[in-house]
Amino acid sequence: MASQSSQDRALSINQILRQNPRDQLYVEPLKWTHDHLRHLEVSFVEPKELHPFDPVSRDSKLWDTVNFTGRNELSSQEVRLRAVEDLLQKADKSLSFEDDLYLCFHRKQQKLDCTFSLEPGQDIPLAAYVDHMSIVAKREGTVKSKLKSKSTNTSIEISKSKSELKLKKITPENPLYDPFIAAILIALAQAQQRATTVSRPHTKDKVVVDPEDLKPLATDGRTYDVRLLVNFREDACFMLYKAVISSAFLAKFNDLDYAPSTSAPMKIELSDIPFKPRISLHRRAFNELFPERQGTGGDSDERSTDSEKSPKNKTRASADSNEPSSDSQGPYSESRGSTDSYDVDSSYHDY
């Protein structure tokens, strides 16, 4: 299989698609695999060190909200989303959030399942948040077959087996390095580039930027600093993903025939933001997501939470928890399937 590396001549996206017709690369971001990252020259930088694992009491308000799990997973995701928004607004009440982030592919676009915040008074996206369980649920939905009303038990089982096989092929072995995370970061950078291209007052109406107008920006030398906060359920920390994306990298999506004169890679750094101490979580999360603003929030309403103060409760929480110990990799080490080729998908739509 032909691939692109920093030592090879840079290829345009159309060239990559033509040279790899059997890989079925033209699919929605939820179906991206390691192959997409390799061809696009996207890589995750291995974290030097993550904080020692320290379980949070399941009895705390923080755990109840940020890791809320109810009978309905969709409603649970909504509760967790509101909890994170409230947490960040505790540090800066001027923050606003939207959920219409799109990955643009020349004149086509795909809405991504995440929430992002805007620069107050402007349409410039600053950072995004996504619940990893929502990625898992949405990905499962992309492979489910529509059964006919008269389907037999045998046909149902066959359909189920096919769906499971497809899901296995597009599920990353290590969720910490989920390709969908890269797609969100790219979409954030695209949104920043588009927002700064058109000078206009703040308005709820979205202004679509013609990708032809973005072509001259390929060599402007600008970079876009993007950040993403991810909540992995059953974990005692947020994961923070950061990338500085160049105009040359984005140009490959604006012009599918554009091949950078030199390699234009994208590197994603990751670190963790432990929940503890809970009293400062809102400030720490805010300052990591918005370093240029450095918000200062009020004191946490969980200052006197018993689980923080009582050694007895700490011991009970550790005993009750099914979490791994500090020297374990937790859910990130779980093997979740290969990254082989998969079916063609046409969910991108024109704008």
Q: What is the pLDDT of residue 330?
A: 34
Task: Tell me the pLDDT band of 145, cut-offs 50, 70 and 90.
Answer: confident
Per-residue pLDDT at 114 exceeds 70: yes
pLDDT in tens, 81-106: 888 899 999 988 888 899 889 999 88
pLDDT in tens, 20-34: 988 888 899 999 999
Per-residue pLDDT at 335 exceeds 80: no
Window from 32-46, 130-144, 152-166 with minimum mean pLDDT: 152-166
Task: Tell me the pLDDT band of 124, cut-offs 50, 70 and 90.
Answer: confident
Mean pLDDT of 210-239: 85
Per-residue pLDDT at 56 exceeds 60: no
Mean pLDDT of 293-311: 44
Q: What is the pLDDT of residue 94?
A: 86
Q: What is the pLDDT of residue 144?
A: 81
Mean pLDDT of 120-134: 85
HEC per residue, the chain: CCCCCCCCCCCCHHHHHHHCHHHCCCCCHHHCCHHHHHHHCEEEECCCCCCCCCCCCCCCHHHHHHCCCCCCHHHHHHHHHHHHHHHHHCCCCCCEEECCCEEEECCEEEECCCEEEECCCCCCEEEEEEEHHHHHHHHHHCCCCCCCCCCCHHHHHHHHHHHHHHHHHHCCCCHHHCHHHHHHHHHHHHHHHHHHHCCCCCCCCCCCCCHHHHHHHHHCCCEEEEEEEEECCCCCEEEEEEEEEEHHHHHHHHCCCCCCCCCCCEEEEEEEEECCCHHHHHHHHHHHHCCCCCCCCCCCCCCCCHHHHCHHHHHHHHHHCCCCCCCCCHHHHCCCCCCCCCCCCCCCEEC
Mean pLDDT of 264-292: 91
